[in-house]
Structure 1
Amino acid sequence: MTTGWQLLWRPAKHEVIASALSDSETSGVVITGAAGVGKTTLARSVTASLPGRTRWAACTTSSSSIPLGVFAQWVKPTDARDPIELLVSARESLLADGPAVIGVDDAHLLDQLSATLLHQIAVERTGSIVATVRSGEAVPDSVMTLWKDGYLRRIDLEPFSRGECVSLVESVLGGTLEELSANVIWTQSGGNPLFLRHMVEAALEAGTLSEVNGVWQLRGATTVSSGLATLLENRFDSTDPEAVTVLRLLALCEPLDINALVELAGEQAIDAAEKAHLIRIDRAGPDLHARISHPLYGDVVRRQIGTASARMLRGQIVTVLNRHTPTSAAGRIRVAQLYLDSDQTADTGLLVTAAKDAVSLANAPLGERLARTAFEREHGMQAAHLLSRALMWQGRPDEADEVLAEFDPDDLDEGQLVLWGIPRASIVFWSLGEAARAREVMELLRRRVSNPILRPMVDAADAAFTIFENRLSEGMAMAEAVLANPGAPKQAVETAAFAAGLAMPLAGRGGDFIDIAERSFDAQKSTDGLIRMLARYGEVLALVYTGELDEAEKHAVAYGEFSSSGEFLGWAVAKMMTALVATSRGRFAEAIPTTKQALAALNAETSLPWRLPGRLLLARAYAGSGRPDEADRLLTEAAEHSGPTVALFDPQVLAVKAWIAAARGSARRGVELSRAAADAAHRSGQFAVEAEALHDAARFGDRKVSHRLQSLAAVVDGPLPQLYARHAAAVADSDAGALDAVSIDFEEAGVLLSAADAAAQAAGIHEQRNARRREIESVTRAMRLAALCGGASSPAIRAAARPLPVTARELEVAELVAAGSSNREIAERLSVSVRTVEGHVYRACLKLGVSDRDGLAAIIREGGPRRHLG
């Protein structure tokens, strides 16, 4: 892995340095920047690209105390002690072959005599100089005057940007770096190339940075390599011990209120740490907070603190912080974590409250740790409830079920029964896929829970199960009753919103759910961050189905603002929102990597059911990109989540199969499967899905769905069903002008692939009517839109892009031949005789000037003879 690290090209800086070294008005450059930012690497790469010789000298702490120590190798052997004679000797050796480039690394460590020599060369312009100086260090006056007086041009080298960090790390890993992990790596390294390299190599060695389904993920705390630790430890060894004490405190609890830090360490120590650039003081409203100046400093200092010392220091911090009861979730979590690792004992109530906070913030691993500690201490139901939820979200249903199995429901009161029963039913239903067993638990709750505050929680959970069983009408009624109940607790409201959010958009009531989302989430504190994120997914789904794609994209971006590695599950749901919007637009080049990252983040010991909609999105994007085999593979993997507990997605599975068939060249089979998807959606009340599936059928050439779409346009929210109906009517009437018009409207609505399909279908009709100019215009439009979709493919686009002198059926047969199907397989797929297929193959070969099936397959795969559009 080490050999993979190479200089990340900085063309702008490279050009500035090279220009300064060849400029007759200056004597070179001085490059300043923090340690490890890449000053020396950049300087040496520039000098290596220049003609002539470069003489490099590297200053060290030991050489700084020796006159001409850094240039000692160029001083001729002599017993003389005259500094002038030594200067002359070094100068003559350095410039013996005429003007040269003199490189000085860490010039702030130059001894006085060496600095004088460098100053003379610069002033007299007898050579060019490239020097590096570490920012924040004292620099000899004779060196500093070089850039102050204009002899050297000063260039400040900044750390890498986030994009540069990601590019470098991905080039080393040879794969995609998860965006959430990239944020952590960039933040922790501060963009410092040296720190970045050490951090990544240490994470690879520790196994915290690993590849999952083609995506590299960082899970767990960042680590510091021994080499980097040694470098930073050497710096701390020469720093005021009081300043290091401040660093130790912040390494265990950051940030700290300045008043608390003064009480713990004293003002003098804080001043010393600030002057040494180890910490920084930030203002947050009226308060001042102290932070470590670079995240890796904290990692290194924590390595130096022994277990006993760390426990004692955390105990001291807790004592000070506890004088003011934390009022925020972050404050409670921080105090609880400090308690767990300190020499003091936390109140169990604090641990339970902090665990609830962690779960509400979608940080399941942290919620697990806090809840487990509380549960092991007192075995209370509230701690068990939180622990089971945290385990379920992380794909560990068996462990979650074991926690709840310790309780006998007959011994529980109504409140405890709800805390026990809802997660138990959820684990059994979604994680284990046992609908009947989950129903038994829910029946128990319905018999025994009558409290008007608790009953909505049972109803909301039941609504979610009912909707996932694809009983939409019943489930939506239950969810809406909870949402309309002013006395329903927050957890019930969130669960009901989650259930309604996955059902109402599919039922064609996206507009209704958008209103519900605004009411339900306004000023509401989340009780389960992941349930909240899934409800937000429903909000984006509603915006997509009502045609408000720009608004959907804004929401998806807003909900994706996660930075903590512990929140990767919520982050994954947010990425699925982004992929949903991109897929709906037809931007598959964006949707594919986004969905892959989401699926990798949802990887768990037991596959999470929330991967199913992500897999369907990815399969749809692959099929729309003309990659049916990859789409089929995804669909096969998605089959691990099937049956009554995910019946909600059955129509979508059929719709994806339709696109796979179309991608393989069988538009007819695509129509059949699209109609099957529409029928399945209609039976369950998924009217928006029905409209979408019928629209797919029209895009594949079906002329018999227009009236059905017209009736759906009256009951499904948003403008898209009307566009679908217009498109289908134009296909039925072979109206090229109407297809061109609806293509324009699809594009304005942001549904680019539908716009491309309509234009491509218009082109075919213009061709049949010898409307050459209109044909060219429609083809050009279709190709432009397909390009915007990342080179998307569909039967209509392929026909427009590769128009051949064959009939539609001959082309369909030819594409199946190119896909490797035998004549018998083609006959079975098209429901015709083998002799009919042979006839189509013969006529296609004759028209295309090839002699056999192999030639036919080759010409289809190569794109066929292009239409001359001149």
Structure 2
Amino acid sequence: MSVHAVSPVFVGRAEELATLRRALERARAGGSATVLVGGEAGVGKTRLVKEFAAAAEGWRVLLGGCVELGTDGLPYAPFTAVLRALVRDMGRDAVAALVPGGTTRGLARLLPEFGEPDDDGPEARARLFEQMLGLIERLAEDEPVLLVVEDAHWADRSTRDLLSFLVRYQRSDARLLMVVTYRSDELHRTHPLRPLLAELGRVAWVTRLELRRLTRREVVEQAAGILRREPSPADLDLIYSRSEGNPLFVEALLTEAGAGQAIPESLRDLLLAGVERLPEETKELLRVASAGGARIEHALLASVAGLDDGALDSALRPAVASNVLVVDGEGYSFRHALIREALHDDLLPGEHTRLHTRFAEALERDLSILPAPRGAIELAHHWHAAHDSTWALISAWRAAAAARKAAAYDEQFAMLSRVLELWDQVPDAAGRIGADRVEVLRQAATAAWVAGEFERGLALASTAIDEVDPGREPIRAARLLRLRGLIRFDLGRPGYLDDLRRAIPLVPSDEPSVLRAKMLHTLAVMISSRDMWEEKIANAREAMELARRLGQHDVEAHALVTLTWASCRFCEIDAYLPAFAEARRLAVLGGDYNGMMRAIISETDALEGAGRHEQAAERAGKGVAEAERYGLARTSGTFLSINLAEPLVSLGRWDEALEVIEHALELSPPAPNRASLQGFAMEIALARGRLEEADRLFGATRAVYSRGLHRGQAILPHARREIELAAAHGRLGDAVELALRHLRDTDLRNDPRYSWPLLIAAARACRAAGDTGALREIVAMAEGLEVDGDLQRAHRLTFEALTGDLGGSAGERAASTGVAWDPVAAWDAAAEAWRRLGQPYGEARALTDGAWAAVASGQRTGAGERLARARELAERLEAAPLLNEIAELARRAGVAVAREPQPQDSRHGLTARELEVLELLTAGRSNREIAAELFISVKTVSVHVSNILAKLGVASRGEAAATAHRLRLVTPDAVHR
């Protein structure tokens, strides 16, 4: 009787298909969605995904699988497969046109059709990841995308990292569904996929789906489909007990029973039973193919087998006909990896060695059979599996170079580690690869560092340093010391300054060198203590001068940024802006994107620190656009979004700030960037009295800041917000305790810009708690703290208004003039300082505090005037707690708070942001173009457009544009923009 090798009926997966369909609908509606599908080998993960994908009408299906090579995975294998399929389907130019950043050199690391990869560097991997995600998101703009990644249990570290990036960082409106399959029975306790699955499982839009075995009834349905009849009860009992409901085993058992064969006793024999019935030449070819991995190219199989195309086709045809092999693009895959594993495990030791040697020799003859870096890594695998130490070492060295070119730094590190393991087994190892052991150690330490394996990188760098004689090889010793210093710096370990200080004298100072310039600059960047500021400036200056003499524009740009930032006085900010502009010019001239971004980040930070909020916001907005054009919106772009949100918060443009924050958070930025953005959102939530939201945001930022070391610009605002949150909840004792603990642990003089706001929060908590003793201690801590620029001056005036009656510098100044301390005048001075800076919240709080002081001194009329202005500002900001305080003060003091006459509203209820959107809409911009212009998400633009249509009483964008012109809601030239 004839039987189907695979059941034509798909049974027993109704619930699982329903889960996948719900995820599909969520993604189709514009929500993020990922499904992680786990299950034991043979349980039907691939069949489930194929059935689901076949029913996904109107979706572009992208399929890639992870590839196993022994214990090694191939870097980026599923994504290389996806790119190759897209190029075949659409053509190279059409795919290239979708790549963000205007260049495909990042994706060239995965597919040579895209040209030469861009230069190695710290941003290479980030750019590759962003370009891959950006490409998929842009594909999804035309038709929704289903991205399937199979066999994630074989994924290498680079593939896992990119997979995690795609899942976590996709836009919420991307119309992208990701389905990832993996063998759950492979995940032993230390398997590297386990922590990734746990991490992704906590992401809101990720669903975990575990495939169960089939029930007895479902096995009956499967068997009936395969046999074309329902099996007898006796056969079913035997098949169900032997298969235990595993669909693959059911198929194998039924195929044997249907072919009149005795059912094998062991699983291995069961899996190989179908192979054993094939012709001898086919079985031999399958044994050969099993050594090549789960998928093997036709050309490589022909070369290893030593057969011409006709003979190869003749031998392969029975395997394909019997469904042992399936055609997969330009190669072949085993129908199930378990069949390949059983065949490979069945090889005798001699066969194993000979086959892997034949694969290695075939690849040595023509490595172009496989795409880079796959060819180099497979070659290294085969020589290693063949137990040829010499060629295993040589090929691992070459594979490391290929992996680095692909930005697969973890695989580079693995290959270099193999070189070191084999070093003592190979005579003249250094001569074989053209590099000595110290050079291998250096490269391995660098790869480990870039891959985030800091501890291993530190150990390797230290070993290399121990093996170098600085007297004989000073330059090499200097490079290694610099490397170890950088790793120690990233780890937060002591000794990084010592390493750099030991390294610099080893590089001759009598002749200019790029190495010396880089070392001087590295040391300048690492110095953060004000006690060593002169050394920082001197090193940065020398590095810049050396780079200029050598024509190294990129090094000069970095050094100029560091020198300018280290020298910058906020009170003289205009004198430093040309230097930041020059640094940007040099970075562009040197092709150094990092240098350009660093110049923009430092300039916008300096402008904000000087109180130039409008300039800071404008420059940061342009920087976000630059990052997006370059294809690094999620990394550099979200960092600059921090520098955009901060001045918007200062200016009281809180809704705009929240839009910027929301847009950046939708890109799932790195944890430190996310925490900084959430910190500003928390400030707004606190000021508006949304305590539950503030609690949630503080918890998220605390989770980040509790791990690792962070600079004062992150930690000090976090400490201030913690104090303010405790006070807002009425836990005044806790707020005072927190304030004293943070201040005692902080060197306030190291960063006055962030120390003054922390002091103010601490002083307010002490005032509210009535803790004069703690307040006096805080006043003493503030003594001698410098003030640089208008922003710090406004902070100091506020602090003095809070504490002047207790003495301190303000009280002493009043006493020395013989004039009694006047709190009303002090608060008026603070309010005026905030007004000049354009900070409405600071002004409103100072006016309110001034009104309290005025009431206390009997100046009721003056109190009413201050409260009227404060209420106007607070209403605009929707600062509910401050409005309540104003109302309470007015009630208790019996002060009438007059309202300013309101001009007739000519904006038809449109907010300032809606008017901006309307103007761009009138100019014919799409939602995506408006989002890019205003640095907000497409979803937010859509909400604004809906509000505009409702408020204007129109039904379409065209009607809105016409109405806007008729009512003069937009400038006359808006349409020409």
- How high is the TM-score relative to the length of structure 1? 0.47
**Which structure ranks higher in relative contact order (CA pairs < 8 Å, sequence separation ≥ 6)?**
2
